[in-house]
Every structure is written in C-alpha cells, then in structure tokens.
Structure 1
Amino acid sequence: MRMITSEDVAMNLPWKALIRRLGSVFREGVEAPPRHHHALHRPDGEATMLLMPAWEPTGYIGVKMVNVFPQNVDQGVPATAGVYVLSEGRHGRPLACLEGSELTRRRTAAVSALAAGELAREDAETLVIVGTGKLAPMLIEAHAAVRPIRRVRIWGRRVAQAEQLAKAYADRFETEAVEGLEAAVEEADIVSCATLSTQALVQGAWLTPGTHLDLVGACRHSMRESDGECFRRGEVFVDTYAGARGEAGDIYQAIEEGVFAFDQIRADLAELLRGERSGRSSHEAITVFKSVGAALEDLAAAIEVWEQLETAV
C-alpha cells in the first residue's frame, strides 16, 4: 500500500482536473452511507470523529476518518485532521493511504468552485473571503479556476492573518484585507465563508442582486455563518440533501426562525449537473450554496490523486 503525503496530494490535485472529476462523480453517483459521527469528550471541550465510506458500483472503494477539534483554533492548530484509505474495487485490496487534511480542504474548495461554475454569474470578478483558516487560500484558487476573479477581499477576526493572506496573493489578484465586512459584501460578486462561527457573520440585507453566497462552515446545528435573511432572499442549493438536512447549521437555524423550509431548496449538485433542475433564475437573482461535505467528494479526490500518480509512473 502506498503512503501519499500532503505534498503529493497537493501536487496531484490541479484545480480544473479535480473540479471535472467531482462533476463526473456527482453526475454518475456512488454508494455513500450516512457518515458516522462519534462524540469525543475531551478535557478542553467536545470533539468529533467522523467516518465517511463511499464506493463505486464496480470501481474504487474508500473511507475517510476525520477528527474535528474546534478548540484547536485557540491554540493555532488546524481544527481537523484525518486520513483516507483507497482500495481497488475488484478484490478490495488497499491501494493507498492519503493524508486527509490536504485532501479535504482541496476537495471542499473544489466543490464550492463546482457550484459557483453552475450558480455564480459568468462575469463574477470580485471575491470576498470570510475567514482566514486553512481553507481560505484554497477557496481563492478554486473560485479563480471557474470565474474571472480579479479582486479578492479578505475578512477575518484575526486581522494580521487576513493581511498575510492578502499579501500572499497580491501578485495574482488585486487583494485587500478589510475590516468592514458589510461594505465588502455589498460590493462582492461571490462571498465565500469558511469559519467555525456560531454567530451570523453575513447578513442577507447586505447581499446585492446577482451575488453568489458560498457557505462552507457551520457543520453543526449550533453553528452559522449567515442569517435567515440570506435564505429568505436567496435561491438555495446544497451539495447533498442528506448533508443539508442533517448537519447544515445555517439551514437548520433559518428553519427554526421560520424564514425558510427544507422543501424550498431548489436543487442539489447532482440535479444541477445532470440538468434535472435549473440554476440561478436570472442575472439579478441571489444564489446561496450550502455545503457540509460528502463521502463521494473525498472518493473523487482520492481517485484523482491516485490516477494522476499512476499516470506519472
């Protein structure tokens, strides 16, 4: 069995290839039972172990194990860590063990880009990133792979990290670390949020016609990145219905507030990509994409890494 490092994962997941692979897997579908959640009661707070299996009908088999420790943020340590085991489908023999954190952050950003390719306006040039964690640079790169991004505005509670990220991408985009989130959102074509916030950061009243809102965080009912007004005003799409129903804090809280209902979701990614349901209704529509992650996304990314490496041999 081959051990694949985070560096190998990064080198073998070019954005356009990964986005194409994800699109193909969403269209074709795989077997993916609900993810297993196991609460871990630690001295400094509760953590979670996630097990995410998926397999193709006659092809690859995979499973990811992820440990989520939200309290790590206060110590400057990534909140998630994990591994992915990929097996061949004929005899079930393990092929590779991949470093899971790099796989996860790249496939997560690529799913956001896949959705933006269907939902964001084709002329979207201004991207606002909310959050300065490990996903933030991935979201910049992934969105820029599908839309003609020229300006990137970065907001985060840690101003120094926002400034550092803006500086890192200043040679590719017109970048700025912003302190006023409201003004940045009002000027955005795409707003992409990746935080562990339990308070609404983006207000629906700030969204201008034509904006695409990408919500990546809030994977628990107690978490949210947007208020209910975003869902009342927006045309809402999700990566999977099962994930949205079970884990999407933004959706759950909007429903609790009485401003949204689950049956108002217009489509999931598979329906969009198969052409079974339409995307944004007009140039002026506000679109909202809520993702929580799915096992098929990890399987797609792991297959792409494996086949890129095999082709290079």
Structure 2
Amino acid sequence: MLAGGGVGRWPKEGSDDRLLIVDSATISGLLSVSEWIDVVEQSLRGVADGTVVQDVRQILPLPDYRDRGRVLSMMFGAVREPACFGAKVISVFPDNFDRGIDSHRGAVLLFDAEDGALRALLHGGEITAARTAAASAVATRALSRADSRVLAVLGYGEQASRHIDAIAAVRPIEEVRCWGRDNIKAAAFAERIAARHQVRTFASTTVAEAVGGADIVCTTTGAKMPILFGHMIEPGMHLNVIGSSTADYREIDTAAVVCSSIWVDYRAMTEVSAGEYLQALAEGAIGSDHLIGEIGTTLNGALRGRTDAEEVTMFKSLGMPAEDLYAAERLYRMAIEKGLGTRVPL
C-alpha cells in the first residue's frame, strides 16, 4: 500500500539492490497513531478475506526460560496485495523492563515478491510495540461501547503507554486508571500520562480499584498467573488482553474468560498460544465454540460484533505476521519516498 493509500509496484532505484535498514527512530516518525491503526486494520481484514498466507509463531525457549521467560520468536507470512513476504525474528526478555531496556529486540525482514530479494530490515521492537497497541485500538473501536470514557490499564511499561495513546484515538477517554505491582512506579507513570493526555489520571493500589467502573480494560503485563478475575468484570466492559503470549501464561482467570465474548486476531495462533483460552478449555469451563471468531471477520461484516450494552467483549491479541508485514511494507515505501534509512550492500 502506498503512503497515500493506493496500491502499486514497489519503488526501485535503478539497479540498487542494497539492503535498506530502517531504525527505531525513523520508524517512530513515519506513522501517526491513527495511521498505525489504519494499517493494522488492513492486516486484520486481509487475514479474514484470505489475502494473507501466514503461520503461527515459532518459539524457542532459551535455557533460562523457566526462571526468566526468555525466548527467541519467529513469525513469517506472505501478503497478496500489497505483494510482499517476510519474517520477524525477535528475542523476548521480559526482565529487560526492570533494566530499562526493550523487552522485544530484533528485526522484520521484508522481501520483494517479484524477484525474491531481501529489500529491507526494519526495527522489530518498534514495529511490534506500535502494531500491538494499534490492533487493540481496532478491536476497541469495533467492540466497545461508543460512549466508553473510562480506561483502566494494568501495567506501566511501554505497551501500557502505547495502549493509552491508541485507545484515546478511537474513544472519547476522559479518565485513565493505572495499576502496577510497584505503587511508586505506577504513580510516576500516571503523572506522565496526565501530562501527555490532559485527562483525569489515577494510580490505583489494587486491580479491583483500577477496573471498578471502567468501560475499557487493557491488561499489558508479563504476568504468569491471573491478575484480573471474573468477579471484577462488570456488564458492558470491553477487555483487551495482550500481555501473555504463551500457553502457560495468563493474565485473566477462567471466570473472566467464561463471562466474556471473545474475539481474536488469528485463531490458529489462539489455539496454540493463548493461555487464558487454553487453560479454560482444559478445565472444561468452555468449549471451542466460546470463541466468537477473528476480529477481521467482524470488520469485514461476516461476523457479529457486540450485541448489546451489557455484553462483556474481549479481544485476545497474540500478534501475527500480517500485522508486521503490512506495517513493514508501508514503512519501507515511506522511507524510500522520503529518502530515509541506511543502504548497505549484502
């Protein structure tokens, strides 16, 4: 997709086959929050209409996985229009947050569908961070009540911040509640959010306090055991559950799963990696039909959305190759058009 929205052939610079490297700072300046949301919506729709061929995430637990949850992750796929294919390879080190560095580090490799050439290497952490929040915003726009004004965010890391930015772009948020395990850090995070968004912002000392009365709840933690429980869920809420991405981790308990209507980004990924869903299924609390379906199908009009103001809706996000590829292709085009990035010979 061209930066202006049209479809066309990839820009070529004569016989220049050098690799274009696009770093984090360049990526962060190319797309606005609203543009990220639009790109990710295209990817979700593409998965639903068969434009995308992709596989589930491949994860290699590293030797210290049991103690630290560290993994090497790879996702790959191909897109028919705009024509491209590629892969994202990243390390996930959850404990990096405590050291003040990114938890997701790696790159998206973008290939040319015409001749198979590797055209670009783009900062994987920046793409992951932006598209994850954008996907939640797409789902929130499709599933939450239009009058949702109170947002609760569990966690105070990068995804918490990005989710507030993205959700505020699709709903008229007037109040934000923040919770994290460290009350001092949660309070500092709340102060930063208040200064940036000019909305009422509070640091809550408990999860129950944060989510009580909230219209939208985003769980953005690396919790292995549930932090949000079914008895805390209120009629009409919308949940974005995004922090856990392996079968043995879950941020919400089985009761919260049972009381929610669940949409996902990519069902095949859900069936192997969504701990909340898989553990509720294993316990016999739900059947496979408890999943409503992929959010892209709802966006395309072939699947229902929210049925009434009382329904509890949930978007379980795991990320998928299509999101990375649609974003990388758009960023590559924009970098070429603006003369950004660094060319290196292979």
- TM-score tier by shorter-chain length is over 0.9
CA distance in 2, matches of 1:312, 1:241: 37
Query: Which of 282, 285, 294 is 1:259 aligned to?
Result: 285
Whether 1:167 and 2:191 are equivalent positions in the alignment is yes
Q: Matched residue pairs, number?
A: 313
Distance 1:114 1:205 in 2: 27
Is 1:93 aligned to residue 111 of structure 2?
no
Task: Name the residue aligned to 1:33.
Answer: 55
Map of 1:72-87 to 2, 5 A cutoff? 72-87=96-111
Q: Is the 8 A contact 1:255 1:262 kept in 2?
A: yes
Residues 136-155 of structure 1 aligned to structure 2 (within 5 Å): 136-155=160-179
Q: How does 1:51-70 map to 2 (within 5 A)?
A: 51-57=74-80, 59-70=83-94
> Which residue identity does 2:327 align to in structure 1?
A
Task: Say which SS state the counterpart of residue 169 (structure 1) adopts.
Answer: helix
Matched, 1:107 2:125: no
Q: Which of residues 129, 134, 139 in structure 1 aligns to 2:153?
A: 129
Task: Go from structure 1 to structure 2 and tell me whether the alpha carbon gap of 1:311 and 1:150 turns closer, same or farther (over 3 Å shift).
Answer: farther
Q: Please state whether the residue corresponding to 2:25 is helix, strand or coil.
A: helix
SS at match of 1:188: coil
* Structure 2 Cα separation of the partners of residues 83 and 305 of structure 1: 13
Match of 2:271 in 1: 245
Offset at residue 285 of structure 1 (A): 0.7
Q: TM-score, normalised by structure 2?
A: 0.86
Deviations 1:249-268 (A, max 9, x none): 11112222322222210121
- What SS is found at the alignment partner of 1:170? helix
Deviates more, 1:166-175 or 1:140-149: 166-175
Q: Deviations over 1:47-86 (max 9, x none)?
A: 3211111211361222100111234345444332111111
Structure 1 residue aligned with 2:70? 47
Contact 2:177–2:211, Cα closer than 8 Å, also in 1: no
CA contact (8 A) 1:128 1:152 kept: yes
* Unmatched runs of 5 consecutive residues or more in structure 2: 1-18, 340-346
For residue 31 of structure 1, give the secondary structure of its aligned residue in structure 2: strand
SS of equivalent to 2:54? coil
The C-alpha deviation readout for 1:22-47, integer Å capped at 9, x for no partner, is 22222233111222222221496553
Distance 1:101 1:93 in 2: 23
The answer to whether the 8 A contact 2:151-2:217 is kept is yes
Choose 166-175 or 35-44, whichever is displaced more. 35-44
Matched residues in 1 for 2:247 and 2:172: separation? 34
How much has 1:277 moved relative to structure 2? 0.6
Distance in structure 1 (CA, Å) of the matches to 2:174 and 2:180 = 20
Alpha-carbon distance in structure 2 between the residues aligned to 1:60 and 1:162:
41
* Larger RCO, structures 1/2 (Cα 8 Å, 6+ apart): 2
* Conservation of the 8 A alpha-carbon contact between 2:261 and 2:291: yes
**Ranges in structure 1 where 5+ consecutive residues have no aligned partner:** none
Deviation above 6 Å: which 4+ runs of structure 1? none
Structure 1 counterpart of 2:231, one-letter code: A
Q: Which has the larger radius of gyration?
A: 2
The alignment yields a C-alpha RMSD, in angstroms, of 1.7
Query: What TM-score do the two structures reach when normalised by structure 1?
Result: 0.94
How many Å separate the matches in 1 of 2:74 and 2:247? 19
Q: Distance in 2 between matches of 1:139 and 1:23?
A: 15
Q: Which of 14, 20, 27 matches 1:2?
A: 20
